[in-house]
Amino acid sequence: MPAYPYAEQPFIRPPELDGGRTDAPVAIVGAGPIGLSMAIDLALKGVKTVVLDDNNVVSVGSRAICWAKRTLEIFDRLGVGERMLEKGVTWKVGRNFHGRDEVYSFDLLPEAGHKYPAFINLQQYYVEEYLLERAREFPDLIDVRFLNKVTGHEDGGDGVRLSVETPEGTYTLDARYMLACDGANSPTRTRMGLDFSGQTFEERFLICDIEMKGSPFGDHDTPERWFWFDPPFHPGKSALLHKQPDDIYRIDLQLDAGADPEAEVAPDRVVPRLRAIVGDKPFRIDWLSVYRFRCMMLDRFVHGHVIFVGDSAHVVSPFGARGGNGGIQDVDNLGWKLAAVLKGEAPESLIDSYDEERRHGAEENILNSSRATNFMTPKTPAEALFRAETLRLAHDQPFARELINSGRLSRPCSLAGFPLQTPGGGPVVPGTAMPDAPLGGDWLISLVQGDFTLVGFGNVRLPAVPGIRRIGVDQRGDYPCHGDAEGFALGRYGMGLAYLFRPDGHVAAVFDAPTAAQVGAARDRALGRIPAMQEAV
Amino acid sequence: MGARRLYESGLGGSGDEIYAALLEAHKGLSEAESEALNARLVLLLANRIGNAHEVLELIETARSYTG
C-alpha cells in the first residue's frame, strides 16, 4: 500500500457529448507532468487548451524523482517551483563507491547565489498533484478531462480532429494543434506508425521505494546520491540510493540480463537485498517495479499539426535524470513559440525551431545516458576490462575518478549556434539558459522569464522597444532597476552589457551599446520572422 | 574503420629502453593480468596526452590495423 493518498479525479461530462464545442486551439493528450506543464505554460500566455487523459489518478508510483535546477527554474515560471522546493528533498552531493570504498564524490552546486539547488528529489505524484492544482487556477483557459481517452486523430492540414472515448459516450474534438504528451509508450506515435529507433539495454533493474525512519547515509544526515559499483551487498552489480520526502528512500538494483521480473519482486527475494543496504532498521516497501530501458527518439518531433513533447518524442535510461527534466525543457521551448504562432506574432515555421532545438537537447541526453549505461553495464570482455581498471585506478588516481560514470546529471541544454539566436559574445553566450542571481529580495530568473526581456547589467543604456520588457541591474533608468549588492549578477553576466532573453530564459542576443533597431531585430529573429522579411525584400 | 595517421618517431632515441620496459612489465603475468595492465597503461597514457582530438587519432590509427 503506497503512503501517498491517491485521490480519484472526477469525470466531468464534456460539452461535446451534448452538442457543445470548445474553442480551444490546442488539444493536449496526456495529463502527466509534461501535458500539465504545457497547459499551464500556454495558459500563462492566454492560450486555451483541453487536456485529455485516459486515467483519473496522478502517477502511480514515484517514477521520476530527481528534478534538476533548470527544471525548477521553469517550474518557478509556471508558478509551482517554490512549492516543489519546499516539499522536495534538496541534495547536491553524489558519492560513488567501488566495493566498500568511496572512490569519487561530486558537489553539483558549489557556488551560492541561486534561487534553486542543483537537484531536489520529489515523487512524480507530488509533481503532478501540484501541477494539477496550478492548472485548476485557470478555469477559463485549461479544461482537464479525466477518463477521456483519445482513440484516433486525423490531421486535416489546417488542424487535427481527435476521436475521444469516455464512460458516457464518444465525441470528436477539433483543435489547431495536438500535443502528444502521452509518454514513453505514446499511443499517438504508435497510431502514426512513426519509427522510434535507438538502443535497448538488456539488463533489468529493480526499482524500490521503502519508507524508513533514520538516515541510511552513514554518519551524514544530509541527503545525498549514493551509487555503488560491485557493492559487498550486491556483488558484481550496481546499486543506487536516493532520499525522497516523507521518509521514503529510492533504491535501484541492477539485475541479471535474463532476470524474471515476477520472481525479482517476490518479498523473499527483495527483502534480504534491502536489508543488506539499510541494515537492521525497520522499513516498509512502498512501491516496487522491474524495468528495462531504452534510449530512443523520433526523427522529427513535429508532424504537421501533431507535436510530440517529452517521453513520447524521446526516452533515455534513468541514470542522469534526463527523462522528466528533458521533457520539461521541451515544454519550456515550445510554449512561447506555439503561443506566438497562435496569436499571429510569429510565422508557423517557428514551430520547426522547436523540432531543431529540442532534437539537439534529446540527442545530448541520449548520448550522455547511453554512455552512463554502457559504463554501468559492460557488454563485452573489453568493456568490462576498461571499467574494472578505471575503478581500480580511481581508488587513488584522481584522473580516473572523472572517468567513472554513474550518470552525468542533467544540465541545462545550450542552444548556442541555432538560427534564432543572434551571434555574439559575452560571459553568457547566446543560446545559454540564463544563470540565476539574487537581486535585492528577488531573483533574476523570476524577474526575467516569461516575456522577451532586455536586461542591462551595469553601465549600459536600454532602448525602449515595444513589446520588450526592460530591467536594469546596478544602474538607474526609467524602467524597473535592481541593486546587485553581492555582485553575483554582474559577476556572471559581465559589466556594461545588455542581454535580450527569450521568454524561456535562453539568451537571444548580447549587446554592449544596443539600439532599438538592433534589439528589435534580435527579437524578430528569435520569433523566426527574419526569413519572412528576407522573402519580402 | 578510422583513418590511419603516420607518426614520425617521438621516442628521442629511447625506443629500445621503452620497448624493453614494456616487456619487463608483463613478465610473469597471466594473460588476464597482462590485459589489465595494458588497459591501465592506456588510461594513464590517454590522461597524459589529455587532448581528446589527439587521443581519438591514436585510437583510429591503432584500430586501422585490425583485420
B19 pLDDT band (50/70/90 cuts)? Answer: very high
Residues 6+ apart with CB under 8 A from A49: A24, A26, A27, A28, A38, A39, A42, A43, A141, A142, A143
- Å from B52 to nearest chain A CA? 13
Q: For A310, which DSSP code?
A: G
Distance CA B3, CA A440 (A): 57
ipTM over 0.85: yes
- Å from A92 to nearest chain B CA? 27
Contact B43 A392 (CB under 8 A): no
Residues 6+ apart with CB under 8 A from A417: A431
Establish if A371 touches chain B: CB-CB under 8 angstroms: no
Contact B36 A388 (CB under 8 A): yes
Instruction: Give the residue from A505, A517, A519 showing the smallest Cα distance to A431.
Output: A505
* From A71-85, A126-140, A212-226, B35-49, the region with the lowest mean pLDDT: A212-226
Instruction: Give the residue from A487, A486, A473, A518 showing the smallest Cα distance to A500.
Output: A518
Distance CA A360, CA A382 (A): 30
Over residues A173-195, mean pLDDT: 97
Report the pLDDT value the prediction gives residue A215, as an integer from 0 to 100: 84
Contacts B43 to A, Cβ<8 Å: 386, 389-390, 393, 400, 403
pLDDT surpassing 70 at residue A534? no
Contact A385 B40 (CB under 8 A): no
What percentage of chain A exceeds 90 in pLDDT? 79
For CA atoms A204, A265, A218, A107, give the dihedral sign: positive
* From A254-258, B25-29, B41-45, the region with the lowest mean pLDDT: A254-258
Domains of chain A: 15-89+116-195+299-367 (3.50.50.60), 438-536 (3.40.30.10)
Number of helices (H), then strands (E), in chain B: 3, 0
Contacts A393 to B, Cβ<8 Å: 40, 43-44
Is A69 in contact with A163 (CB distance < 8 Å)? no
Is A300 in contact with A352 (CB distance < 8 Å)? no
Residue in chain A nearest B50 by alpha carbon: A399
Residue A53: alpha-carbon gap to chain centroid: 20
Of the two residues A281 and A516, the one the predictor is more confident about is A516
Contact B36 A385 (CB under 8 A): yes
Residues 6+ apart with CB under 8 A from A201: A292, A293, A294, A295, A317, A373, A377
Over residues A501-520, mean pLDDT: 97
Q: Which of B39, B44, B47 sits opposite A386 (nearest CB)?
A: B39
Residue in chain A nearest B40 by alpha carbon: A389
Contacts B39 to A, Cβ<8 Å: 385-386, 388-389
Establish if B63 touches chain A: CB-CB under 8 angstroms: no
Contacts A399 to B, Cβ<8 Å: 47
Establish if B25 touches chain A: CB-CB under 8 angstroms: no
Rounded to the nearest 5 percent, the helix, strand and coil shares of chain A are 30, 25, 45
Contact B43 A385 (CB under 8 A): no
Contacts B35 to A, Cβ<8 Å: 385
Contact B36 A390 (CB under 8 A): no
Distance CA A133, CA A277 (A): 37
Best mutation target among A375, A385, A404 (most B Cβ atoms within 10 Å) is: A385
Q: How many CA atoms lie within 13 A of A13 on its CB side?
A: 7
Contacts A392 to B, Cβ<8 Å: 36, 40
Report the pLDDT value the prediction gives residue B1, as an integer from 0 to 100: 52
Q: What are the C-alpha distances in Å from A32 to residues A62, A111, A146?
A: 13, 33, 11
What are the φ and ψ backbone dihedral angles of A475, each rounded to 5 degrees? -160, 170
Contact A389 B40 (CB under 8 A): yes
Over residues B36-65, mean pLDDT: 97
What are the φ and ψ backbone dihedral angles of A271, each rounded to 5 degrees? -55, -45
Contact A400 B43 (CB under 8 A): yes
Over residues A326-330, mean pLDDT: 97
Best mutation target among A383, A387, A389, A399 (most B Cβ atoms within 10 Å) is: A389
Three-state DSSP state, A228: strand
Is A117 in contact with A109 (CB distance < 8 Å)? yes
* Domain boundaries defined on chain B: 15-63
A531 pLDDT band (50/70/90 cuts)? Answer: low
Q: What are the C-alpha distances in Å from A229 to residues A278, A375, A378, B32, B36?
A: 17, 10, 12, 21, 18
- Å from B10 to nearest chain A CA? 24
Determine whether B33 is exposed, middle or buried from the number of CB atoms within 10 Å of its CB (0-12, 13-18, 19+): exposed
- Segment holding B37, helix H or strand E: helix B31-49
End-to-end CA distance of chain B, in Å?
Answer: 10
Provide the mean pLDDT of chain A. 93
A533 pLDDT band (50/70/90 cuts)? Answer: very low
- Å from B66 to nearest chain A CA? 15
Establish if A416 touches chain B: CB-CB under 8 angstroms: no
For helices A323-342 and A69-78, angle between their N-to-C axes, nearest 10 degrees: 40
pLDDT tens digit string along A3-19? 898 999 999 999 999 99
Establish if A388 touches chain B: CB-CB under 8 angstroms: yes
Instruction: Give the residue from A124, A155, A165, A166 showing the smallest Cα distance to A34.
Output: A124
Q: For A118, which DSSP code?
A: S
Establish if B33 touches chain A: CB-CB under 8 angstroms: no
Over residues A199-226, mean pLDDT: 86
Provide the mean pLDDT of chain B. 95
Instruction: Give the residue from A347, A353, A359 showing the smallest Cα distance to A300.
Output: A359
Determine whether A10 is exposed, middle or buried from the number of CB atoms within 10 Å of its CB (0-12, 13-18, 19+): exposed
Of the two residues A366 and A267, the one the predictor is more confident about is A366
Over residues A402-420, mean pLDDT: 91
Over residues A59-73, mean pLDDT: 93
pLDDT surpassing 70 at residue A535? no
Instruction: Give the residue from A293, A274, A287 showing the smallest Cα distance to A234.
Output: A274
Sheet hosting strand A481-482, strand order edge to edge: A481-482, A469-473, A453-457, A497-501, A507-511
- Å from A22 to nearest chain B CA? 56
Distance CA A137, CA A153 (A): 29
- Å from A385 to nearest chain B CA? 7
- Å from A397 to nearest chain B CA? 9
Establish if A530 touches chain B: CB-CB under 8 angstroms: no
Best mutation target among B40, B41, B45, B51 (most A Cβ atoms within 10 Å) is: B40
Report the pLDDT value the prediction gives residue A277, as an integer from 0 to 100: 85
pLDDT tens digit string along A126-182? 999 999 999 999 999 999 999 999 999 999 989 999 999 999 999 999 999 999 999
For CA atoms A289, A74, A367, A251, give the dihedral sign: negative
Contact B36 A389 (CB under 8 A): yes
pLDDT tens digit string along A236-285? 899 999 999 999 999 999 988 788 888 888 888 889 889 888 888 899 99
Residue in chain A nearest B45 by alpha carbon: A399
Contacts B47 to A, Cβ<8 Å: 399-400
Residues 6+ apart with CB under 8 A from A387: A229, A375, A378
- Å from A403 to nearest chain B CA? 10
Report the pLDDT value the prediction gives residue A60, as an integer from 0 to 100: 85
- Å from B40 to nearest chain A CA? 6
Q: What are the C-alpha distances in Å from A82 to residues A66, A212, A284, A352?
A: 16, 26, 30, 32
Interface A-B, measured as beta-carbon pairs within 8 A, has a size of 22
Of the two residues A105 and A132, the one the predictor is more confident about is A132
